[in-house]
Chain A
Amino acid sequence: AQKVTQAQTEISVVEKEDVTLDCVYETRDTTYYLFWYKQPPSGELVFLIRRNSFDEQNEISGRYSWNFQKSTSSFNFTITASQVVDSAVYFCALSDARTSGGSYIPTFGRGTSLIVHP
């Protein structure tokens, strides 16, 4: 079965600090997809990134970067120079074929609440 663990329940930082959100996953499939979503107070989850299991290249998008390491089954998310607007709950998700009968339905972690203080 697929599983996603976000061990950090809440992280509190001061603006301009760098912060890393951890995500550890479990799957028996060799083909799978990893995602990060952001949920601001409005409630709507916003897609941030999708990564497939064959692409271990790290990715940077502005202040956001992602570190995918298959050896440790981790897909960590770093925000550089955090801003108050980054305050939200961040979810890591995993989809594979085996658990969902080929439909690649994502399983979400419990989320990490990030609070950025001015």
Chain B
Amino acid sequence: ETGVTQSPTHLIKTRGQQVTLRCSSQSGHNTVSWYQQALGQGPQFIFQYYREEENGRGNFPPRFSGLQFPNYSSELNVNALELDDSALYLCASSPQRGEKLFFGSGTQLSVL
């Protein structure tokens, strides 16, 4: 059974650029959530997708957007990057909403 995989592991961008992060959910999981974790902080919820529909959204601006594909993999897109977007972005999948989350190792994004 393959776990949650994220790519890339590290990324360096400059302010104003756009970035796409990718996530493959664990086999059989139809729910994918994205979290932003700043240094020394807990994960902050960005949004969740359930069966290709956005199912919930945290307090993040519209320049944070996402997709879930028919195979339940997912993308997180961030436009007009700002310095404060520098963080670890975590993807998590679960077999159903409300169940325990299975996390990937994250993508470390640095915005210069």
Contacts and interface: CB of A to CB of B under 8 A. Distances in A.
Interface of A: 4, 6, 33, 35, 37, 42-47, 50, 91, 95, 100-101, 103-111
Contacts of A6: 42
Given A44-B105, A110-B42, A103 B50 contact: yes
Nearest to B58: A105
A101 B45 CA distance: 14
Contacts of A91: 42-43
Contact of B101 (A42, A45, A109, A110): A45
User: Top 4 nearest A-B pairs by Cβ distance?
Assistant: A104-B98, A108-B42, A45-B103, A44-B105
Contact of B106 (A35, A43, A110): A43
B49 to A, nearest CB: 11
12 contacts: A33-B98, A44-B104, A46-B103, A47-B100, A103-B56, A104-B98, A105-B48, A105-B56, A107-B45, A108-B35, A108-B43, A109-B42
Contacts of A108: 35, 42-44
A100 B43 CA distance: 16
Contact of A44 (B42, B100, B106): B106
Contacts, number: 58
Contacts of A95: 98
A111 B42 CA distance: 6
B81 interface: no
Main secondary structure of the interface of A (DSSP, over half): loop
B33 A45 contact: no
A105 B45 contact: yes
Contacts of A46: 103
B78 interface: no
B41 interface: yes
A106 B108 CA distance: 22
B47 to A, nearest CB: 9
Interface in B1-41: 33, 35, 40-41
A100 B56 contact: yes
A89 B112 CA distance: 27
Contact of B41 (A35, A45, A103, A110): A110
Given A46-B103, A47-B100, A110-B42, 9 more contacts: A33-B98, A43-B90, A43-B108, A44-B104, A45-B90, A91-B42, A105-B48, A108-B35, A108-B43
